[in-house]
Structure 1
Amino acid sequence: MKMRKVGKYEVGRTIGEGTFAKVKFAQNTENGESVAMKVLAKSTILKHKMVNQIKREISIMKIVRHPNIVRLHEVLASRTKIYIVLEFVTGGELYDKIVHQGRLSENESRRYFQQLIDAVDYCHSKGVYHRDLKPENLLLDSQGNLKISDFGLSALPQQGVGLLHTTCGTPNYVAPEVLRHQGYDGSAADIWSCGVILYVIMAGYLPFDETDLPTLYKKISTAEFFFPSWFSPALKLLIRRILDPNPKTRIQIVGIKNDPWFRKSYVAVRHGEDEEVNLDDVRAVFDDIEDEYVSEQVDNKDNGPLIMNAFEMITLSQGLNLSALFDRRQDFVKRQTRFVSRKPAKTIISSIEAIAVSMGLAVHSRNYKMRLEGISANKTGQFAVVLEVFEVAPSLFMVDVRKASGETLEYHKFYKDLCSKLEHLIWKSEGTMRQKSARSMSC
Structure 2
Amino acid sequence: MSRPQVKRRVGKYEVGRTIGEGTFAKVRFARDSETGQPVAIKILDKEKVLKHKMAEQIRREISTMKLIKHPNVIQLHEVMASKTKIFIVLEYVTGGELFDKIVNHGRMREDEARKYFQQLINAVDYCHSRGVFHRDLKPENLLLDAAGNLKVSDFGLSALSKQVGEDGLLHTACGTPNYVAPEVLDDQGYDGATADLWSCGVILFVLLAGYLPFDDTNIMNLYRKISAAEFTCPPWLSFEAMKLITRLLDPNPLKRITFPEILEDKWFRKGYKPAVFDEKEGNWDDVDAVFKDSEEYHVMEKKEHQPAAMNAFELISMSRGLNLGNLFDGEQGYKRETRFTSKCPANEIIKKIEQAAKPLGFDVHKNNYKMRLENLKAGRKGNLNVATEVFQVAPSLHMIEVRKAKGDTLEFNKFYENLSTCLQDVVWKTEEDMQETK
TM-score exceeds 0.5: yes
Instruction: Tell me which residue corresponds to 2:288.
Output: 283
Structure 2 residue 141 is matched with structure 1 residue 113: no
Query: What's the CA shift string for 1:26-62, capped at 9, x where partnerless?
Result: 0000110000000000011011110000000000001
Instruction: Tell me which residue corresponds to 1:411.
Output: none
Q: For residues 137-216 of structure 1, what are the structure 2 equivalents within 5 Å? A: 137-158=141-162, 161=166, 162-216=168-222
Instruction: Tell me which residue corresponds to 1:421.
Output: none
Letter in 1 for 2:81: A
Q: How far off its partner does 1:291 sit?
A: 3.6
Please state whether the residue corresponding to 1:201 is helix, strand or coil.
helix
Higher-Rg member (1/2): 2
Contact 1:172 1:209 in 2 (8 A): yes
Instruction: Tell me which residue corresponds to 1:236.
Output: 242
Instruction: Tell me which residue corresponds to 2:347.
Output: none
- Partner Cα separation in structure 1 for residue 292 and residue 63 of structure 2: 13
Of the three residues 23, 36, 41, the one matched with 1:32 is 36
Of the three residues 258, 261, 286, the one matched with 1:255 is 261
Letter in 2 for 1:225: F
- Partner Cα separation in structure 1 for residue 393 and residue 228 of structure 2: 58
- Partner Cα separation in structure 1 for residue 6 and residue 165 of structure 2: 53
Q: For residues 19-168 of structure 1, what are the structure 2 equivalents within 5 Å? A: 19-158=23-162, 161=166, 162-168=168-174
Query: What's the CA shift string for 1:403-434, capped at 9, x where partnerless?
Result: xxxxxxxxxxxxxxxxxxxxxxxxxxxxxxxx
- Partner Cα separation in structure 2 for residue 224 and residue 73 of structure 1: 42
Q: How far off its partner does 1:101 sit?
A: 0.4
Query: What's the CA shift string for 1:291-319, capped at 9, x where partnerless?
Result: 411111113568x8x99xxxxxxxxxxxx
Q: 1:160 to 1:246 in 2, by over 3 A?
A: closer
Query: What's the CA shift string for 1:320-371, capped at 9, x where partnerless?
Result: xxxxxxxxxxxxxxxxxxxxxxxxxxxxxxxxxxxxxxxxxxxxxxxxxxxx
- Partner Cα separation in structure 2 for residue 266 and residue 275 of structure 1: 24
- Partner Cα separation in structure 1 for residue 305 and residue 271 of structure 2: 55
Q: 1:301 to 1:263 in 2, by over 3 A?
A: closer
Please state whether the residue corresponding to 2:101 is helix, strand or coil.
helix
Q: 1:289 to 1:110 in 2, by over 3 A?
A: farther
Structure 2 residue 19 is matched with structure 1 residue 15: yes
Please state whether the residue corresponding to 1:124 is helix, strand or coil.
helix
Contact 2:165 2:171 in 1 (8 A): no
Q: How far off its partner does 1:393 sit?
A: 8.1
Q: 1:240 to 1:32 in 2, by over 3 A?
A: same
**Which segments of 5 or more consecutive residues in structure 1 lack a partner in the other structure?**
308-391, 395-443
Of the three residues 245, 249, 253, the one matched with 2:251 is 245
Letter in 1 for 2:60: R
Query: What's the CA shift string for 1:135-179, capped at 9, x where partnerless?
Result: 000000011000000000000012764100000000000000000
- Partner Cα separation in structure 2 for residue 237 and residue 110 of structure 1: 14
Q: For residues 404-423 of structure 1, what are the structure 2 equivalents within 5 Å? A: none
- Partner Cα separation in structure 2 for residue 160 and residue 212 of structure 1: 32
Instruction: Tell me which residue corresponds to 2:297.
Output: 292
Contact 2:83 2:293 in 1 (8 A): no
**Which segments of 5 or more consecutive residues in structure 2 lack a partner in the other structure?**
311-391, 395-438
Of the three residues 227, 232, 236, the one matched with 1:226 is 232
Please state whether the residue corresponding to 1:150 is helix, strand or coil.
coil
Q: Percent identity?
A: 63
Q: How far off its partner does 1:286 sit?
A: 1.3
- Partner Cα separation in structure 2 for residue 63 and residue 22 of structure 1: 23
Please state whether the residue corresponding to 1:3 is helix, strand or coil.
strand
- Partner Cα separation in structure 2 for residue 206 and residue 143 of structure 1: 27
Contact 1:177 1:247 in 2 (8 A): yes
Q: How far off its partner does 1:2 sit?
A: 1.1
- Partner Cα separation in structure 1 for residue 306 and residue 229 of structure 2: 60
- Partner Cα separation in structure 1 for residue 214 and residue 22 of structure 2: 26
Contact 1:284 1:291 in 2 (8 A): no
Q: 1:237 to 1:289 in 2, by over 3 A?
A: farther
Please state whether the residue corresponding to 2:197 is helix, strand or coil.
helix
Structure 2 residue 271 is matched with structure 1 residue 265: yes
Q: How far off its partner does 1:287 sit?
A: 3.8
Contact 1:244 1:250 in 2 (8 A): yes
- Partner Cα separation in structure 1 for residue 99 and residue 393 of structure 2: 33
Instruction: Tell me which residue corresponds to 2:336.
Output: none
Letter in 2 for 1:283: D
Indicate the RMSD between aligned Cα atoms, in angstroms: 1.9
Letter in 1 for 2:92: F
Q: How far off its partner does 1:290 sit?
A: 4.3
Letter in 2 for 1:227: C
Please state whether the residue corresponding to 1:191 is helix, strand or coil.
helix
